[in-house]
Structure formats: C-alpha cells, structure tokens
Structure 1
Amino acid sequence: MHPILNVVVVSFHHKRGCEVEYSHPKLDGTGESGLPDEWHLLPSLALPDGVHNCQKDTIFFLLPSREEPGKSIFGISCYRQIDAKELINKSEDVTRTSVQKAVCVLSRIPLFGPLKAKLEVITQAYFEQKDFSKVDVLAQMYTNLCDIFDENLTGEYFSNLAHHVSEISIQELFIRFRHRALLLFKLFLLERKVLFIAPTGLRLGETMLAIVSMFPKLLEEGLFYATIGVNTSCHFKNVNSKTEGKSEEIVIEEEVGVQLSHDDPLKEKDSCGFPISLFTQGSSFDPYLSIQSMDLVPKTQSCIFGATNALFAMKKDLFDVIVKIEDDGSLVHNHIEFVNDTALERVVSLTTADLRFADFILKKVEEQVKSSNAEFDGSDEWIRLQMKNYLLGLVATSRSDLQAAIPHFGIAFVNEWRRTKNHKIWVANKHEDLTSVAPGHMFSEQMGVYDVYLRFEHAVNGVEGASKVIGTVNTAGKNLGNTIGETGSRVKAKFSNWWNRKATAQEGVEEAEEPSE
C-alpha cells in the first residue's frame, strides 16, 4: 500500500465552522464532503483552536485508520490566513474580512519531518494564487509525494529518512528545556496523563516529537497504535496508578508481563527490544488535540498530548502533569507543573548522575551550536545515541535489581517504572543483545563540589532572575574549586547545609535516595 493517502483542504465557514472543502483523491465517507466517520475530528485538528488569532501555523496530528481498525494514520496540516480583499476569485461563502484554510497531507506512516518543508511550500503557492478554486497545484503535490515516498518506503531507508531529513530538532529541545529535557524523557516512561500546551501547534508538535524521537525507533515504528481515537478503552490496569511516595522494593510480575507481551500489537522489535511498547493498549500519544476531543481524555489509561487552547490547562483534574511552553516573541519560557500527584515530582526528579548526564549533553549541544560546525558530537543523531545508551543502562539495572546501581537512576523512579505496561512487556521478552548490556548509570561517579552547583542551576532554571543567581554562584564556584584542604571541606559543608535548608521537599527526598558517598 502506498504511504500517501490524501491531500485535503479544510476551511473555516462562518456558519458551519471547520469543514472539509476539497480532497484528492476524493473522500468516500458518509459525512459532509465525503468525510468518513473515523475522521470526524479531522476538520478541528487541521485548523488550530482560536483560528482567527494567528496568521499561520503547522500542526502534527494522528487519526484512526479506516483500513486497519485499531491502528493510526498520520497527518500534517499547514494553516494560513489571507485578507478577503486580496482574493481574485471570491466565492459567495466569503462574507468576512479574512479567509482561513489549511492544507493537509494524510499518510499511513509518520512522515512529519520530511513532509513539513514540502507542505509549507505548496501551501504558500496555493495561497499566492489568490484563487482557491485552482486546485491543480494540490493534485500535483499528491502525485509528487507519491513519487517521492513510494510504497517501498519502509525499514532502514525510512528510519534514515525520518532522522536525517527531519526538521524536528532535539538540539532545540535541550536548549529550551536544558536539564529538564531528561526529566521529560523519564516522565514519558511512567505512562501518566501529561498535557503539553503552547501558543502554536508547530512549537507544540516539534517539542513533543523531539522527545519521542529520543526513544529508539519509537517515532518511526512505535506510534501506529497511539492516537486517543483508538485508545479510549483500557486494556491494562496499572498496579499503582497513583504514587504514594514510597520507595520500597517491589516484585516484578513475570506472568503479567508475559500476558501483556502476548497482547502487544507491536510485534516487530529489534534485538534490544526497540521500539518499546510505550503507546499501546490504552496509552495514547497525540501531538495535537482540539477542544472537541477533551471528553476523550478521562477514557484513556494514560495519555500524552498537546493543545493550544488554554481551556485544557484549566481542567487540571484530568492531568498529572502540565507542561507549559510560553513564547513572548523573544524568549521561550517552559514550566512543568505536577498537579494531581505531588509525589510524582519526587519520583521523576533527576538524580545527581542524571544531572551530570544531561549537563554533558547540553554542553556538547551548546558547543556545536556556537561553533556552527557539522561535527557528530552534539548533533541530533549523537543525542539519540546517548539516550539509547542511557535507556539500555536503565532497563539493565532494573532487570538486574542491582542495589548499588538503582539509586543513580532514582529508587522511586525505577520502582514506579517497573509497574508500567511498557516495562513489563520489555523485560518479559528475551532480547539477545539486551542480555549483554551491563547495568549501571554512565555518570555514576563520586559526588563533588560541582554537583552542588549543577543541582542549584537545575533548581532555579526558568525562574525569573535565575541567570543572575547562577552567574553569582559560578563566580563563587571558582573560589570553591580552588580551595583545598580542611578549609575547602568546611566551606563545602556550609554551602551544602545552606542548600539543604533551601531545597524543596522534592530534592530532599531525591537526595536521600542517592547512595552514600
């Protein structure tokens, strides 16, 4: 089957709202303009909430497949707005001062990155005609996309295309979120209800897909059962859906894992077990949902999705975590709010070893961006390799139950992850290359003075005036770093005592979980 399904135009009508105006090939459903029942949310997904408030946007979304029930298809929409006075051929439906339309491409496989630039160019050309009855450019785009992305676009070729052509930057994710990019990575593993909210669909989608792409093969092969449209009934019950902040050891339930593995729709995995079954059997991932989809959220076991409508953020009882991405035009501010489960903040918090690892990646990224070179270190592919090694070390440590290594990832975190569906499926299967992975954290070193400052920088990141505080601390750090002997120990002890008094309850618990050094 060919990966490209349809090119669709969705418009905003002043009386009927969002509706499908054109499709190539034609849709053959029973709804308006042939819209299939399975795709009834397509019009609201293609046009952003608050459509009149933005001139342009790009949205990534998922829909249920018509051909294979239970599976997902993938959409990308380029929205534009034009002044009605500029139109050469104005239809009778145009009664307002501006016209809003979106051009969408629907595909059987996730071509988000490779399609983005092409679709934006064609959408711009379509609008520059100033006559929306001229759809030849859209029909030609469908033909061209079919030529570029043929039906043999699978396997290693598609994997390389998705990574190397993609404009979804993991570097940008680390620059925006700094060390907390690793916190979001760990949060995804815990199968909670997480809302990402941003002013634009593009910033929203790029952020969420960047996190997904850090999990090996998950973006290319692991989202086929992810959309909330096919995951509104739970097939798996979490043993402990709400954390109580306890860090006692638990027993890995082998029989439950085997049964879940038997029911897992992601049958094709590599010798390490990738892609992991993160978004299957009641766990959803949608990089964009419109307000019409809000009633589906309570019906899911777990979900990670994005929205641009502020009304979502007001429904805090529906989510465990809300990640806000605010853009004032010159700066991007990110805020991670743990709303319904305060213990979860402690569970997912970064250990000292985690902070070293995240700082290592961040410094490499900043070096490459600053020098504008094409070196592998600090590139998106390099980051993916580091995250793969981190994840392999994490699962090897969890499987081995090595007491000396678990605290470096966080005792409470490892215990909570063991309770999830994706962990049970992963460890229940025999993956030949996974057995040879040594347990342990790559950055499990003895704690030093630098770690204190690293934790301080992480704690104040994103807070107003943080850069000024960090600068002061770094200046003082040079003096501390040059201080040796007994005096240095006393200074370090005094600073550590001060830090412990100022630290949040989250960090206090996390530090208690670390091995004594």
Structure 2
Amino acid sequence: MDALAGQENPGSSGRPGPVLHIVVVGFHHKKGCQVEFSYPPLIPGEGHDSNLLPEEWKYLPFLALPDGAHNFQEDTVFFHLPPRSGERKTVYGVSCYRQIEAKALKVRQADVTRETVQKSVCVLSQLPLYGLLQAKLQLITHAYFEEKDFSQISILKELYEHMNGSLGGSALEGSQLYLGLSPRDLVLQFRQKVLILFKLILLEKKVLFYVSPVNRLVGSLMTVLSLFPGMIEHGLTEGSHYRPRQSIAEEDIPAVSFSLGNSPTPSQISSSKDEDTEIGQVSLVEPSRPEVSATEPEVDANGSIEYLRPPSHTSPESVESDWETLDPSILEECVTDEGEVWNLGPGPCEHHTKDTITSGSIPITVQPQSKTGQAVFTPGLISGLEEDKYGMPLAIFTKGYLCLPYMALQQHHLLSDVSVRGFVAGATNILFRQQKHLSDAIVEVEDAKLNIHDPELRKILNPTTADLRFIDHLVKHVTENRDDVFLDGTGWEGGDEWIRAQFALYLHSLLSASSQPESEKVLSDYGSAFIAMWKITHNYRVWNSNKHPALAEVNPSHPFQGNYSVSDVKLRLSHSVQSSERGKKLGNAVVTTSRNMVQTGRAVGQSVGGALISAKSAMSSWLSTFSQASTQEQQEEKH
C-alpha cells in the first residue's frame, strides 16, 4: 500500500488521461462519510490513504456515499464537482455504492464497529461518460467487495490505468456518451410532460427532481438533459461552478445530515403543511453572510476579472431580468480552451435534417435522416462552450445556473444562494421536496408528476396545439414499438436516437423561427408568452448575439404546424383529462357511465340518453373555452 503513496498521475501514455482519480469513500461510525483511499492522491504530496480534501471538493464524501444509502444493497450516483484552482471545467463523478456484512470480511479492520460496512468506489473524470464509467465501475466495485479485504487496492490502481488507456485515445461515439440514458422510457413514463419539462429548462427555472434510490434519480435527470443537442458533450462544463460554503464548519451542520442513513423519521418532520424554513426543529437556514457588493470582481482561473451583478434582492425566486447576462467586452475576444481536448465524436444534432412540412397540414411523420461525417465543434465566441454550426449546446448551464444530478443535504444552501440564478438538481431527501419556496418546479419521478408552483408559469408552459401534435407523435411511435426488443437503444423510428433527433428538430425550428422578422404568427405555435419569457433568458441572449448561418436550411416554423382539426380536439381533451384533477374526474365519470351502460341492458335508452347529455354538456363547456382561447389568439395576431 505504501508503494502507491505520493505517486503522480502517470497515465498509460505518459500524459494525463481523462480519469483524474479513483476514490474510495467509507462511512466511519464517529467521523461520518470520509475519503479512505485515492489514487492518485487528491492532494499532491499526501498519501493515498489521506482523509484530506481540496476545499473545492469538500462535499465529495457526501455525494459519493448518498443520503439513506443504508436502505439499499447497492446504488449508483452521478454527481458534479466544481473545478479546482487553476482549472476551468466541471469534474464528472460516478460512484458505485455497496454494503456488506462485517462478519463476512476476511480481514476486519479495527475501525469496523458496526454490523455492516458501507463503501463507495468513485471515478472522477474530465469526460461526461456517465453510463460507460458506471458499467466499468460496477464490475470493479463488485470484484473489490468480493475480495472481502478492503486493504487489497491493487485492483483500483489497475482500474485507473485501464480507464485512461481505453478512454484517452480514439474518438468516442455517441452511443458511449448516452449509454444507460433512455428517452424511450422517459417518454413512456412522462408522456406530454416531457416537452413541458424541456421548455421549463429552456426558461432557466429552478427545477428539482425527487425520487429514491439515486440511480433512478440521476438517470431520469440526465436523460432529460440528453434531449438538448450537444448538452451532454459540451454544455455542462460550467454547470457546477459554485462556491462551497465557508461560513460554518461541517460539524455545525445538523446531526440529521451527518449519519449515513439520514432520511428523517416522521417525528422529525413537522406535520404542518406550511413552507417554513424550519422542518422538524432542524434549521436549514444559512447563517447570515456579508452582502456581495455589486462591483465585487469575479476572478476566473485565467486571472481575468469579470464583473457579475447579483440580483437586486435576496429572494430565492428566479428573476432573470435582474441579471446582467452579457458583458459587451467579451465580444471582442474569442474564449479558447487551453487544456487538452478529447474528441467526443459526433453529436446527435449534426446527423439530421428535417422533412419539409406543408403549411396547413398535419404531418404524419417527421424523420430526420442520417448523414455521414463527424460533427464539428468550435469554441463559441460568447458562450465559451464548444458549439456546433447551429450554436448548440445552448449556454443554459453557465453564469450561475447549476446542473447537479445529485445534491447532498450539505449543499442545501445552494438553493437560496444569491450567486445561483437557478438549477436543475436531484435530491432523495424529503427535506428538499418540502422546501417548495426554494424551487419553481418539483419533478416527482416515481409518480411522473411535474408540480409547477406558479399558476402563471403553468399557463405559459401549457402545450399549444402544435406542441400536443409533436408529443403525441412521439408517444405513438414509442408506444407502438415498446415491445420490440431489437429497438431498445439501437432502432431508429421510435428509438432513443430518433427521439433525440425529434427534440433537436424542435429546438432548431424554434430558434430558426425566433430569428425571423415578423414571425409572431409562427411563434404562436410554440406559445407567445413562452417565447417572450424565453427571449430574456441568458441562454437565448447568448445564442442570439452570434450568427448561425446553418439555420438557414431549417424551416422556420413549428414542425407540427397546421390548421385545427377534429384530431386536435381529441388531443386537447386527452391532455386536459391527463393534466387536471377535474379532467381526471370527468374521465372516471365517462368510464363509470360506460360500464353501467354495458351492465344495465333494460335501461339502455335512459343510460345512453343520460350519457349523451352529460357528454354534450362537458364537450360544449370545453369547446366554449377552446373557442374563446382561439378567438383571443386571433385577436392578438391582428394586433
């Protein structure tokens, strides 16, 4: 073991590879979660068994060994760490957790005092290869535990060398980037809510995913992000640029968050339904911090000074217009990456063109066709991200908008930090979900619920008729092919890549339409209120500040534009039934009425008559509302 201490990052070819460290995190009965092993050492000059952590990575043990892990035999975590001093990019972490009975160990160390031993083996990488790293890491973690002697660490050193040898050379294909992320499963579970969630993130709102165990949480969250062209490959490099809390020590964090199994018991949770900042006597309010000066400079890794004006208020609510999103001075220089760049291979948006759709008709299928060649990404002039010819990925996760697939309770303060504009984050602790005032929407993955707190925001995100056609097109193709075992991850129409291509088409068309003069009528197919709100976001302003000639080949209209038809009435009614409690009650009433009609033969006339009257009344009321909405849209178009 001592032979490994102090060794530098060798890499198989004499240069640093994409994998930075292999780390083992364990749970100590007195000290809590702590790093037990790292190769190479996390801090140069320290031994591989040092517990010391870089200040930027102080939350690493709590991310690698998740909250409530003792409830599961094994689990997987995707998490993001901020760059260390001198670096610029997010560090991508994948952790595999397992537990074993202490009596099964061949070598039981002195600090093992509990009946079970919980540990996580973690990979810290410069590449966002979540699924690929997970697949390799699960095998090694299993073998490491099968040794039943955690002092045998040679297998971890071999893992480090193997990963750098296999990942640091040739270009990586898209299938490797998206391994384990299934849009088909996402569409089958969330249906029309997938598009609402997609547009919610475009608005840079505070979105919290909630479910347990962690592997299901991070899988759902990252699958949603994979629908954005180029986002996984190049769009998350600034998504974890937050400052660890400096004002209090870790020991000052409530005891409920310090133990491995810290999911609160019912007695710890207040029975009241209010949205107070205290839950069950456990204060989650960050101690007072000195107010940030509006002219306080932000110094990046290259020594450049950037002035970022914080909001004029400290409310946790997101107000994009209060943020200074662009500094005109950066238009004069091109932001380049001085570090080594690994080729991530073709991005999904570069492989597809869209079929021409005749205005006034409802398209039956929109199928981008595959092209040969490799996507070309170049540094964005303003965003600093690696962009394709369409300006993808959008600069969503920049300037204080965070992407945290899994958040530890110790990071709770980030939800209300004035330097954080917004976030897409995942949590398993119920304390996060109960703090509704700290987010704009909560995605309950287990029940496929999307709870948007602000009624006005819900109205803005309500799907248009064209949007409903788009998502119905996706759901039908996925549903029709759900039993095709050969389609899972490899097929085209109805498959994972096909779904990503549809969302790339949707976003390209939206951007193309938004850049056209006098396109109000076209943009109404996406929702006029949504477009107005989107155009003041940071990501749209960055995109719109540069020219993207490639969009000239994209039809500047909604892929599913067209005149209203009877099919649209059915779609709207179906959406209303699925999306509202009132609609669900109406749907249940129709089902009950139908059942009674079948069972009661003698009263067929009365039952049918009553059912027709009820259905006519419900339909007339709905059509009246629909007609009013259409009239209002026409009036807005005239003005």
What is the TM-score when the length of structure 2 is the normalising length?
0.69
Provide the residue aligned with 2:435 in structure 1: 315
Name the structure where helix makes up a greater proportion of residues: 1
Alpha-carbon shift at residue 312 of structure 1 (Å): 0.5
- Quick one: distance in 2 between partners of 1:493 and 1:442? 33
| Secondary structure, aligned partner of 2:482 | helix
Alpha-carbon shift at residue 413 of structure 1 (Å): 0.4
Range with bigger deviation, 68-77 or 261-270: 261-270
Q: Which amino acid aligns with 2:562?
A: E
Alpha-carbon shift at residue 459 of structure 1 (Å): 3.4
Structure 1 segment 31-180 matched on structure 2, within 5 A: 33-66=51-84, 68-150=86-168, 152=169, 157-163=171-177, 166-180=179-193
Range with bigger deviation, 139-148 or 100-109: 139-148
Provide the residue aligned with 1:442 in structure 2: 559
| CA shift in 2, pair 1:436/1:122, >3 Å | same
Contact 2:317–2:439 at 8 Å: present in 1 too?
A: no
Provide the residue aligned with 1:283 in structure 2: 401
- Quick one: distance in 2 between partners of 1:352 and 1:67? 49
- Quick one: distance in 2 between partners of 1:255 and 1:47? 36
Provide the residue aligned with 1:347 in structure 2: 460
- Quick one: distance in 2 between partners of 1:416 and 1:16? 47
- Quick one: distance in 1 between partners of 2:628 and 2:528? 11
Matched, 1:370 2:483: yes
Q: Which amino acid aligns with 1:197?
A: Y
Unaligned runs of at least 5 residues, structure 2 = 1-15, 246-297, 299-306, 336-381, 595-612
Contact 1:239–1:419 at 8 Å: present in 2 too?
A: no
Give the counterpart of 2:541 among 424, 431, 437. 424
Provide the residue aligned with 1:335 in structure 2: 449
Provide the residue aligned with 1:197 in structure 2: 210
| CA shift in 2, pair 1:296/1:85, >3 Å | same
| CA shift in 2, pair 1:282/1:181, >3 Å | same
- Quick one: distance in 2 between partners of 1:261 and 1:190? 24
- Quick one: distance in 2 between partners of 1:444 and 1:75? 42
Contact 1:231–1:281 at 8 Å: present in 2 too?
A: no
Q: Which amino acid aligns with 2:202?
A: L
Contact 1:29–1:37 at 8 Å: present in 2 too?
A: no
| Secondary structure, aligned partner of 1:88 | coil
| Secondary structure, aligned partner of 1:408 | coil
Matched, 1:270 2:388: yes
Q: Which amino acid aligns with 1:229?
A: Y
Range with bigger deviation, 362-371 or 84-93: 362-371
Provide the residue aligned with 2:622 in structure 1: 499
| Secondary structure, aligned partner of 2:515 | helix
Alpha-carbon shift at residue 212 of structure 1 (Å): 1.0
Provide the residue aligned with 1:483 in structure 2: none
| CA shift in 2, pair 1:13/1:21, >3 Å | same
Contact 2:383–2:542 at 8 Å: present in 1 too?
A: no
Contact 1:404–1:515 at 8 Å: present in 2 too?
A: no
- Quick one: distance in 1 between partners of 2:567 and 2:158? 58
| CA shift in 2, pair 1:258/1:387, >3 Å | farther
| CA shift in 2, pair 1:200/1:48, >3 Å | same
- Quick one: distance in 1 between partners of 2:565 and 2:588? 18
Contact 2:74–2:99 at 8 Å: present in 1 too?
A: yes
| Secondary structure, aligned partner of 1:192 | coil
Q: Which amino acid aligns with 1:201?
A: V
| Secondary structure, aligned partner of 2:402 | strand
| CA shift in 2, pair 1:467/1:514, >3 Å | same
- Quick one: distance in 2 between partners of 1:508 and 1:61? 47
- CA RMSD, Structure 1 to Structure 2 (Å): 3.5
Q: Which amino acid aligns with 2:512?
A: A
| Secondary structure, aligned partner of 1:435 | helix
- Quick one: distance in 1 between partners of 2:194 and 2:587? 21
Provide the residue aligned with 1:384 in structure 2: 500
Q: Which amino acid aligns with 2:40?
A: P
- Quick one: distance in 2 between partners of 1:37 and 1:312? 24
Alpha-carbon shift at residue 365 of structure 1 (Å): 1.4
Contact 1:163–1:381 at 8 Å: present in 2 too?
A: no
Give the counterpart of 1:183 among 174, 196, 199. 196
Q: Deviations over 1:191-222 (max 9, x none)?
A: 11111111111111111111111111110111
Q: Deviations over 1:94-146 (max 9, x none)?
A: 11111111010000111102111111111111112211111122111111111
Matched, 1:359 2:472: yes
- Quick one: distance in 2 between partners of 1:128 and 1:295? 38
Contact 2:77–2:96 at 8 Å: present in 1 too?
A: yes
Alpha-carbon shift at residue 436 of structure 1 (Å): 3.6
Provide the residue aligned with 2:290 in structure 1: none
| CA shift in 2, pair 1:442/1:415, >3 Å | same
Give the counterpart of 2:242 among 220, 229, 250. 229
- Quick one: distance in 2 between partners of 1:20 and 1:509? 62
| CA shift in 2, pair 1:37/1:101, >3 Å | same
Alpha-carbon shift at residue 229 of structure 1 (Å): 2.5
Contact 2:317–2:440 at 8 Å: present in 1 too?
A: no
Q: Deviations over 1:289-335 (max 9, x none)?
A: 10000112222011111111110111112111111122xxxxxx121
Alpha-carbon shift at residue 495 of structure 1 (Å): 5.1
Contact 1:243–1:343 at 8 Å: present in 2 too?
A: no
Q: Which amino acid aligns with 1:50?
A: G
Q: Quick one: percent identity of the two aligned structures?
A: 38
| CA shift in 2, pair 1:78/1:513, >3 Å | farther
- Quick one: distance in 1 between partners of 2:238 and 2:415? 16
| CA shift in 2, pair 1:242/1:137, >3 Å | closer
Matched, 1:304 2:424: yes
Contact 2:106–2:149 at 8 Å: present in 1 too?
A: yes
Tell me the number of residue pairs that the alignment of Structure 1 and Structure 2 aligns. Answer: 481
Unaligned runs of at least 5 residues, structure 1 = 245-249, 327-332, 477-489
Q: Which amino acid aligns with 1:360?
A: H
- Quick one: distance in 2 between partners of 1:28 and 1:275? 33
